[in-house]
Chains A and B, each alone.
Chain A
Amino acid sequence: MTEGNISICEEKIYEQLYKSYADKIYKHLLYKYGDMEKAKDMVQDSFAQLWINCASVNFSSAKSFLYKVANNFSLNDIKHKKVVLNYEKSSNNSDRTYESPHYQMEEKEFMLRLEAAINNLKEGQREVFLLSRIEKKKYREIAELLGISIKAVEKRMQQALINIKKSIPNI
């Protein structure tokens, strides 16, 4: 079988990639940014992204995809720390740009789909997703809060993202 025929959507292949690269990407992020927990979370998020995009990423480019996604997460995180933003200004809705009714309808539809997608998640998945995205908890903190392993948190998050993508295919 040539590399071009190998599908990342096959669990064995995906697991093989995880075994080959998870630790290397973790160390890369850790050495670069010095935060163990963030590095672990970013590795998991990068692999979740790979799984979600498994049909469109070639086996031969999986490694560069993973590093690119991980680095993007990291750069965003650095910006988080460096930039000071005036929330008061941005919370003022008076300068919002209101676009055409078409966009307004599109936006409303997207929101409804997202709310439904979150509501339709299994309780455990929804809990993990919201604790991460709204409460901004790290995977370790979520694991402690819920009394489950970090691996279980990772699995639930991955499933949550897959199910949300199924509900909103164009994301």
Chain B
Amino acid sequence: MNTITNHTENEFLTKWIYRQLTFEEESLFINSENYKNLVASNR
């Protein structure tokens, strides 16, 4: 899996909240716009 669909981003966010992302998922997620926005808005 090397893509994040809009649908799965919500699942990724939920898993991120609960620290349940696998390494592969986290690697994809931290490059997503959602994650970058989250980091930017909280730093």
Residues in A lying within 8 Å of B, measured CB to CB: 45, 49, 72-73, 76, 79-83, 85, 87, 89-91, 93, 95-99, 103-104, 106-107, 110-111, 114-115, 118, 126, 130, 132-134, 161, 164, 171
A49 to B20, CA, bound (A): 11
Residues in B lying within 8 Å of A, measured CB to CB: 2-7, 9-10, 13-14, 16-24, 26-28, 30-31, 33-34, 37-39, 41-43
**A residues in contact with B17, CB < 8 Å:** 114, 133, 161, 164, 171
Contact (Cβ within 8 A) B19 A95 = no
Give the shortest distance, in Å, between A88 (CB) and chain B (any CB).
Answer: 9
Contact (Cβ within 8 A) B5 A97 = yes
Give the shortest distance, in Å, between B33 (CB) and chain A (any CB).
Answer: 8
Give the shortest distance, in Å, between A105 (CB) and chain B (any CB).
Answer: 9
**B residues in contact with A83, CB < 8 Å:** 23-24
Contact (Cβ within 8 A) A104 B6 = yes
